[in-house]
Amino acid sequence: MASKLDQLREMTTVVADTGDIKAVAKIKPVDCTTNPSIVLKALSTDMFDEQFAAAIKWGKSQSGDREDVVAAVASRLAIDVGAALVDLVPGRVSTEVDADLSFNTEGSIKKAHEIIAAYEERGIGRERILIKLASTWEGIRACEVLQKEGIDCNLTLLFSKCQAIACADAGAFLISPFVGRILDWYKKATGEDYTAETDPGVLSVRSIYNYYKSNGIKTVVMGASFRNTGEIEGLAGCDRLTISPNLLEELEADQGKLERKLSPDAFEPEPKVEMDEQTFRWMMNEDAMATEKLAEGIRNFAADLGKLRTRVAKELDA
């Protein structure tokens, strides 16, 4: 029998959640997703020593505000990682707008334009890139503008249905509802253990998937942030799943039968929800898990971005 990974690929587009070049070359996913944490980890390996040295040399030749130069070098390095991944996958690579712009619509739009321009300078078209934005109200509004400009977006740090509805209304190309981080919150809050069928993260993505399919929404649902293969199996059939290399290897080694859990042709009818800013903010306020995990995710990504900028600053001063 085919491995569970091969069976999964028959019903779901498999995306690698990593900046590990060797892992991507081995796994051969369709797409790749990155975030500040993944970029920082990738740049900590010797595979990007040449690009890092070139970026620092470029930074030293730049004039202007020092913080702006540091930020520009850090951005260039994130594009270096993304460009390396583009060479390895046939599909798209997600590149994240700086986390400290998560509540700045205009700043996010400007940064997205810079990211697309940087890729185009390397001969990589926008059709190969997804701009990754936090699913804040401001990030969703930036997505709405960018999508109308023909720049496809990946809305990340998504923990609630109201975020998913707002993203769909904005015309987002793709959303990344998190699974494992939802499970983390509930395990800590309740002290209980969960199976794949009771996992609150799995149930959240299933609910979003059902809402989208029942309302004919074209936005791609890509489950993310998995803690174990059981969560992945619980979402078999989802449009896309972005999975870390270690969990992909576990699925590849498992020869058991994989049951399809989601299908675009099997859904429960569900009325469309009208989502405005007031409704969005109230629904987020009423969901302690989503509010806390969104804020925590932004802080963590901002912290890793800060670590990268600190490293860059030290090299520029050397």
Contact of 149 with 119, CB cutoff 8 Å: no
Give the type of residue at 228: N
Please name which of 181, 138, 142, 141 lies closest in space to residue 158, comparing C-alpha atoms. Answer: 181
CATH number for the domain harbouring residue 300: 3.20.20.70
Residue-level pLDDT, tens digit, the chain, 318 residues: 799 999 999 999 999 999 889 999 998 999 998 888 888 899 888 999 999 999 999 999 998 899 999 999 999 999 999 999 999 999 999 999 999 999 999 999 999 999 999 999 999 999 999 999 999 999 999 999 999 999 999 999 999 999 999 999 999 999 999 999 999 999 999 999 999 999 999 999 999 999 999 999 999 999 999 999 999 999 999 999 999 999 999 999 999 999 999 999 999 999 999 999 999 999 999 999 999 999 999 999 999 999 999 999 999 998
Q: Where are the alpha helices (DSSP H) in the chain?
A: 4-11, 21-27, 36-43, 49-60, 66-86, 105-121, 137-148, 161-169, 180-190, 200-214, 229-233, 245-253, 277-286, 288-317
**The predicted structure's pLDDT at residue 60:** 95
Domain containing 102: what range?
A: 4-317
| Dist CA 80 CA 118 (whole Å) | 10
User: If 0-12 CB within 10 Å is exposed, 13-18 middle and 19+ buried, where does residue 192 land?
Assistant: exposed
Give the catalytic positions in this structure. Answer: 132
How many domains, in total, are found in the chain?
1
Please identify which residue in the block is written with the tokens 């796994």: 27
Distances (CA, A) of 74 to 99, 108, 133, 250, 272: 13, 16, 17, 33, 41
Structure confidence at residue 36 (pLDDT):
85
Rounded distance between C-alpha atoms, residue 205 and residue 164, angstroms: 10
